[in-house]
Amino acid sequence: MKLTNQQRIELHGFNNLTKSLSFNMYDICYTKTREEREAYIEYIDEHYNADRLTNILMKVSEIIGAHVLNVAKQDYVPQGASVTVLISEELVVEVPTESFAESPGPLPDNVVLQLDKSHITVHTYPEYHPDEGISTFRADIDVSTCGEISPLKALHYLIRSFDTDIMTMDYKVRGFTRDKSGHKLFIDHEISSIQNYIPEDLKSLFQMIDVNVYQENIFHTKCKLKDFDLNNYLFGYTKDKLNDGEAEEITKKVQLEMDEIFYGKNTGNGWIGSYGGTDKSSS
């Protein structure tokens, strides 16, 4: 159902729709020795510590126009961090028309929109394979809002805030609100794909797959970097320190790890098989 901007704000009471974005990013590294693995985990743990993650979430709050009520943050031992931000609405006179557009959101700027009590969370998970020399870092960010704006407007900034090899994004709208006549609205903005909220220069870097359930207002997009440079996956040295056989073996291990994460399947032979999504990669 296509609604005009005027219709969107002529509601009976407050906009009760809950809009939730889950953004998961993965960084992958080859760490041949225990010392390399520990150094990588220490580096990534410091690079994405609770203070830096808090700064990222505060910028997200700014982008979606939220008023921060409370911040709880924690660095964990031996590794990992969590931040939770409780946010609430700020009074506005008029909702900017661009907040309804199915397009990438801004980088940090002054955007003030109407929200109810909502939250933003981030958790990090450094880990490693016990035998294969692969270490990974995962960050999970959830942005949940009630009100006029979709948290998808923060996606552009989130992608640029992390060095990521693979991304998984989920967006869903729950509940309903009513217009002045009492007619239920189960979604208040148009959306055909999460990809429409990602700028073209970023989309061109990734292979992308969509799995969407339109009638349930559920949207899912996976992204994996197209170009592979082994130097980006070595920690503390470059591929010129390796012989051809070593470079080939490490490349296979890293690419297999990326494929398994991207397709959500374990495999030992380098073959993943088909995936039941729609490939909408930028060519």
Catalytic (active-site) positions: 118, 123, 146
Handedness of CA 276, 277, 281, 283 (dihedral sign): positive
| Distance, CA of 104 to CA of 107 (rounded, Å) | 9
* 51: Cβ contacts below 8 Å, ≥ 6 apart: 73
Check: CB of residue 210 under 8 Å from CB of residue 280: yes
Query: Given the DSSP bridges, would you call strands 166-174 and 18-30 parallel, antiparallel or unpaired?
Result: antiparallel
Return the amino acid letter for 84.
Answer: T
Residue type at 154 in one-letter notation: A
Alpha helices in 172-274 (DSSP H): 200-203, 244-263
The bridge status of strand 166-174 relative to strand 134-146 is unpaired
Asked whether the beta carbons of 88 and 118 are under 8 A apart, the reply is yes
